[in-house]
């Protein structure tokens, strides 16, 4: 009978840990989605802030990464790192650039 109680307790602890993990993982995923969504807005804002500055690509990117990193709650800093945000900004910028090129190509094709 004591073994059964011990097994129940272990099962409950494991189940509780799993529930906490799932909830924490959900919060991390939500925060990453929020950061990704705001990346475009911050990239646009950086373009406006540094529009009169030449060769400011690195400065703009650093500004965007810092602004997005400020959105990360302290407990999530170990999981959502500055490097991860840097990669989000880089991939977002590449997608914006790819889209802009496609639109420009469409306009050029219309002129032909």
* pLDDT tens digits along 60-89: 899 999 999 998 888 888 888 999 999 999
pLDDT at 1: 58
Q: What pLDDT does 75 receive?
A: 83
Q: What is the pLDDT of residues 9-66, one digit of tens each?
A: 888 888 887 777 777 778 888 888 888 888 888 988 888 888 877 777 788 899 999 9
Whether pLDDT at 6 is above 70: yes
| Rounded Cα gap, residues 77 and 93, in angstroms | 23
State residue 65's pLDDT score.
Answer: 93
If pLDDT is split at 50, 70 and 90, which confidence band does 100 have? confident
Rounded (10°) CA dihedral 27, 88, 54, 104 = -120
Please give the C-alpha separations between residue 69 and each of 49, 66, 100, 105, in angstroms, as whole numbers. 18, 5, 26, 35
Distances (CA, A) of 58 to 4, 54, 107: 61, 11, 30
Which pTM was predicted? 0.67
């Amino acid at each position: 009978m004591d073994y059964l109680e011990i097994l129940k307790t272990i099962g409950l602890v494991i189940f509780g840990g799993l529930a906490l993990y799932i909830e924490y993982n959900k919060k991390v995923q939500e925060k990453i989605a929020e950061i990704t969504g705001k990346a475009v807005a911050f990239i646009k804002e950086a373009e406006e802030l540094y529009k009169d500055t030449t060769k400011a690509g690195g400065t703009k990117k650093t500004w965007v990464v810092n602004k997005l990193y400020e959105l990360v709650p302290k407990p999530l800093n170990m999981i959502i790192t500055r490097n991860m945000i840097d990669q989000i900004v880089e991939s977002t910028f590449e997608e914006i650039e790819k889209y802009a090129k496609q639109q420009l190509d469409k306009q050029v094709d219309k002129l032909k």
